[in-house]
Amino acid sequence: MNGVNGVTRVAGTAPHQAPSPPAVTPEAGRLAARLGYWLRRPGLVLSVLVVGAVLTAAILPELFTSRDPLTGVPAEKLRGPSAEHPFGTDQLGRDLFARTVHGAALSLRATSLAVAVGLVAGSAMGLLAGALGGRVDDVLMRCADVLLAIPALLLSLAIVTALGFGTTRVAIAVGVTSVAGFARVMRAEVLRVRGTVYVEAAHAAGARRHSVLLRHVLPNAAGPVLVFAAVEFGAVVLAVSALSFLGYGAEPPTPEWGSLVSEGRDYLAGAWWLTTFPGLTIAATVLAANRIARAWEGEER
């Protein structure tokens, strides 16, 4: 054996070298990081699955059930949960699971419309207030303060009473109550972005005010507003269901989550499932939406 420069080897053989680790490509590293992100957050994964199932039920309810939500069998009324009827049956013998699945479409449609109303109207108000300032800002923000001073449920009740009953009117009423929140978030972001270097450079280059607002200010201020819309989604689901529970939503026998809970109030003693399962569906949707919104908000920060 020879020792040369501190390396010990057997005569006639090459020095021993440790095998080099396999090279990791950037794509594989990013994939592993994403997989680790989801594995460390099982609650977020479950929330995505819940929201995905609800959206699928709203778009393709036939994937979950083939039963008619409006037709019942009187001989099967008020039957408890079973393999044939997972959520049991109501007082008219209608399958409650089918009614809950088909009710997702109407409830989510009203929720989406309400969020869209608040997002569009509130963002426009906040954009004008933050961009123009002065008296315009004072007037618009005082209007927002008035909306915030009135309890949301009372304000939505007053609006839907003036507009009339119906799911669309309920959605508009709930959307109006969320305008002030969107306006304040958008105004704060516009004031932040308006003082950045690239906006000042655009003004110095001679760009028109509306061009700067649409091309520079609005795109850079939209992120937190969209996160706020995701946060509001769960609250809007509750508000729409509450108004439907009070009888302002769709007319019977059209299924809607809030009305399903309302229909089971008179049968709580002997048919607990009539309110429990629709109520759990609402709660699961709200909690899942809030969990996804919190994760999105954390990434934005």
| Tokens 């996804």 sit on residue | 292
Answer whether residue 24 is part of any domain.
no
**Do residues 263 and 178 share a domain?**
no
Residue 51 lies in a domain: no
- Phi first, then psi: what are they for 2, rounded to 5°? -115, 145
Does residue 8 carry a pLDDT above 70? no
Q: Is 213 helix (H, G, I), strand (E, B) or coil?
A: helix
Last residue of a domain, one of 230, 250, 270: 250
Q: Which of 7-16, 56-65, 248-257, 287-296 has the lowest mean pLDDT?
A: 7-16
Asked if residue 270 is part of any domain, the answer here is: yes
Both 122 and 245 in one domain: the answer is: yes
CATH of the domain at 178: 1.10.3720.10
Q: Do residues 187 and 271 share a domain?
A: no
Domain contains 144: yes
Asked, for residue 160, whether it belongs to a domain, the answer is: yes
CA distance 169 to 43: 34
CB atoms within 10 A of CB 78: 15
pLDDT band per the 50, 70, 90 thresholds, residue 16: low
Range name among 92-101, 196-205, 226-235, 271-280 with the lowest pLDDT average: 196-205
Which among 243, 265, 239, 257 has a CA at the least distance from the CA of 69?
257
Domain with 275 in it? 252-282
In the numeric block, the tokens 């909690």 are attached to 287
Asked if 164 and 270 sit in the same domain, the reply is no
Q: Determine the Cα–Cα distance for residues 54 and 118; give it in Å rounded to an integer.
A: 22
Where are the alpha helices (H) located in the chain, listed in sequence order? 26-39, 42-59, 96-132, 134-149, 152-163, 167-177, 179-194, 197-204, 209-212, 218-245, 257-263, 273-300
- For the entire predicted model, the pTM comes to 0.85
Asked whether residue 4 is assigned to any structural domain, the reply reads no
Q: Could you give the CA distance from residue 268 to residue 91 in angstroms, rounded to a whole number?
A: 12
Residue 72 lies inside a defined structural domain of this protein: no
Beta pairing partners, 107: none
273 shares a domain with 204: no
Rounded CA-CA distance 258/125 in Å is: 31
| 214 and 263 belong to one structural domain | no
State pLDDT tens for residues 202-226.
767 877 877 888 888 888 899 899 9
168 and 244, same domain (yes or no) = yes
Whether 87 and 100 have beta carbons less than 8 Å apart is answered as yes
* Residue 286: predicted pLDDT: 95
Which one-letter amino acid corresponds to residue 173? A
Domains in the chain: how many in total? 2
Q: Are residues 134 and 228 in the same domain?
A: yes
Pair (195, 274) in one structural domain: no
pLDDT tens column, 232-252: 999 999 999 999 999 999 888
Question: CB atoms < 10 A from the CB of 81, how many?
Answer: 16
Q: Is residue 55 part of a domain?
A: no
Domain identity same for 118 and 218: yes
**Do 160 and 277 belong to one domain?**
no
Last residue of a domain, one of 206, 228, 250: 250
CB 289 within 8 A of CB 115: no
pLDDT of residue 252: 86
- 199 confidence band (pLDDT: 50, 70, 90): confident
Same domain (yes/no): 226, 264:
no
Written as one letter, the residue type at 24 is V
